[in-house]
Structure 1
Amino acid sequence: MAFLTLNNITFAYPNGFTAVENVNMSFEKGEAVAIVGQNGAGKTTTVKLINGLLKPTEGDVVIDGWNTKDYTTAQISRKVGYVFQNPDDQIFNSTVYKEIEFGPKQQGLSPEVVKDLVLKAAELVGVTKFLEENPYDLPYSLRKMVTIAAVIAMNTDVIILDEPTAGQDYPTMIRLGEIIKHLIQQGKTVITITHDMEFVVNNFEHVIVMANKRKIADGNKRDIFWDLETLEKSMLKQPHISGLSNSLKFGNQVLTIEEMVEELKDAKKSGHVQKDNYGVVV
């Protein structure tokens, strides 16, 4: 049985608006999963059902044998950590250290354990030298890393990242990938909502596609990003390198630059690559 399951989940707000309808998902312990789809597809509502901020109108969310309907949000927060898309919705302490230590302290851990968790999380995300700074004196990208550290320090089994690459530069996105890899090695389940298809390709094998409040596809990243019908239904685009490969009509399902280079080499050997007077492939 999967570590985390959503069984026939529907959620409707008190005004009658249905945000998620008849959704089934499963997540294994120690895997990274990306949930993709346009705004309004139901992604954020779905993950808020996972961490207990919302409770399903119909169906069940079960985490390691816990049905979220039977537990408070505070209790579920010991199993599921949630990093908000906007760090300013999450940060409320006067120093980075206090922000990161808040969650572990609420768990009643010893001061020594709390300090160890804070320092390890800060080092992992790269904010160690800012521990005595006020988070709001830091740029947006670093504030976001502070919120990620704060959730990591809580040592939950499941960590949800809502649009982690928004507002981040390339080196920080590389670090985010390293953070996800580290968490997976520690047996954490990492669920990420993102519009960044390149980030998905580089860091996730399991991809779930949502559209119109439902899950419409669930599978390996290569199958997902070369299912052009599903991408059209969800109004998503292939990663740039895949789109280029598709336009050049290469036979294999390219996802990375390295794969593209191999396709070009093969095409050149077979005489299928043509170049203009400037050496550009046409």
Structure 2
Amino acid sequence: MEAIELKNVSFAYPDGHVANEELNLIIQKGERVAIVGQNGAGKTTAVKLMNGLNKPTNGDVLINGVNTKMQTTAQVSAYVGYVFQNPDDQIFNSNVQKEIEYMLHYSKLDSQEIERRVSRAVELTGIESYLHMNPFDVPYSIRKFITIAMVLALETPYIILDEPTAGQDLHGIQTLTKLLDRLQEEGKCVITITHDMEFVADNFARVITMANKRIIADDSARNTFWSTEILTEARLKKPQIGEISEELGMEGNIIYRHELVELLNKK
């Protein structure tokens, strides 16, 4: 099976702090999944298990059927690309183009293939005008897209985005939405950690909710955001459209703008 599988996975840091407990999950290639929950829920630790940065204390993580315990982090990262929450943790080259090319040269790809991959990654992220600048001289929001481009250039079948909307304006969020659509068209799996519930509602059909180090729900966006139990345990809020429709007493568990507009037009 082409999928990321977590089987009864728990993870504890060397100091004994347990970050994840008994995670069971299958995310198939081509899926688009959001992972939500408050700080401390275990989201980032969980996705680091998926790309080999963490190895489970108990249980097994399988990438396309291969146990990560049997692979190095570098071997796992050939399948699962990870964009860190803080772009400054991933950037170290003197200009943006070198940053995107670095791992491609390390992988000994030929110049034509490197050019193709860089061109694609730059086009998808819209960072053409920054290629010859020092990454630390560009705005934080653009640095986020630089690190996304770095991972896109690796062309892994699975891509993890950790808080991609942080620091983004409307244009940045629209670029992210187009990127998600394009990657899904290409058959890529995208797993996104985010606190932005509007972004989740607008872009993800499947939502995995974490709280207290565990997965407490794996459901549609609509069912997730209209479950008082899930929202209370995970300390989440409905997207704004859902809150407005609830205040107006609208029926249908609305979370999308077009649904609210259609019902209001019928009034």
Do they fold alike, i.e. is TM over 0.5? yes
The question of whether the paired residues in 1 share the 8 Å contact of 2:9 and 2:22 is answered with yes
1:140-155 to 2 correspondences below 5 Å:
140-155=140-155
Query: Equivalents in 2 of 1:154, 1:15: separation in Å?
Result: 34
The question of whether the paired residues in 2 share the 8 Å contact of 1:3 and 1:29 is answered with yes
- TM-score (normalizing by structure 2): 0.98
Aligned match of 2:177: 177
Q: Tell me the CA shift for residue 128 of structure 1.
A: 1.2
1:82 aligns with 2:73: no
* Aligned Cα root-mean-square deviation (Å): 1.0
Report the residue type matching 1:241 in the other structure.
I
Aligned match of 1:27: 27
CA offsets, 1:15-66, max 9 Å, x none? 1110000011111111110000000000000000001001000011111121
1:79-118 to 2 correspondences below 5 Å:
79-118=79-118
Q: Tell me the CA shift for residue 111 of structure 1.
A: 1.3
1:65 aligns with 2:76: no
Report the residue type matching 1:43 in the other structure.
K
**Structure 1 counterpart SS, 2:105:** helix
CA offsets, 1:122-179, max 9 Å, x none? 1110111211111111111111100000000000011000000000001110100111
1:215 aligns with 2:226: no
Higher mean C-alpha deviation, range 32-41 or range 128-137 = 128-137
Aligned match of 1:225: 225
Report the residue type matching 2:74 in the other structure.
A
Which structure 1 residue ranges, 4+ long, deviate > 2 Å from structure 2? none
Query: Equivalents in 1 of 2:124, 2:145: separation in Å?
Result: 10
Query: Equivalents in 1 of 2:234, 2:178: separation in Å?
Result: 28
Look at both structures and tell me which one has the larger radius of gyration over its CA atoms: 1
Q: Any stretches of 5+ residues in structure 1 without a counterpart?
A: 269-282
**Structure 2 counterpart SS, 1:154:** coil
Higher mean C-alpha deviation, range 251-260 or range 49-58 = 251-260
Report the residue type matching 1:17 in the other structure.
H
Query: Equivalents in 1 of 2:81, 2:2: separation in Å?
Result: 18
Report the residue type matching 1:23 in the other structure.
L
Query: Equivalents in 2 of 1:191, 1:164: separation in Å?
Result: 11
Query: Equivalents in 2 of 1:2, 1:254: separation in Å?
Result: 33
CA offsets, 1:210-249, max 9 Å, x none? 0000000001111111112111111000001101111222
Q: Tell me the CA shift for residue 2 of structure 1.
A: 5.7
Query: Equivalents in 1 of 2:105, 2:226: separation in Å?
Result: 46
Query: Equivalents in 1 of 2:103, 2:65: separation in Å?
Result: 23
Report the residue type matching 2:121 in the other structure.
A
Aligned match of 1:37: 37
The question of whether the paired residues in 1 share the 8 Å contact of 2:2 and 2:65 is answered with no
Report the residue type matching 2:127 in the other structure.
V
**Structure 2 counterpart SS, 1:175:** helix
Q: What count of residue pairs does the alignment treat as equivalent?
A: 267
The question of whether the paired residues in 2 share the 8 Å contact of 1:49 and 1:55 is answered with yes
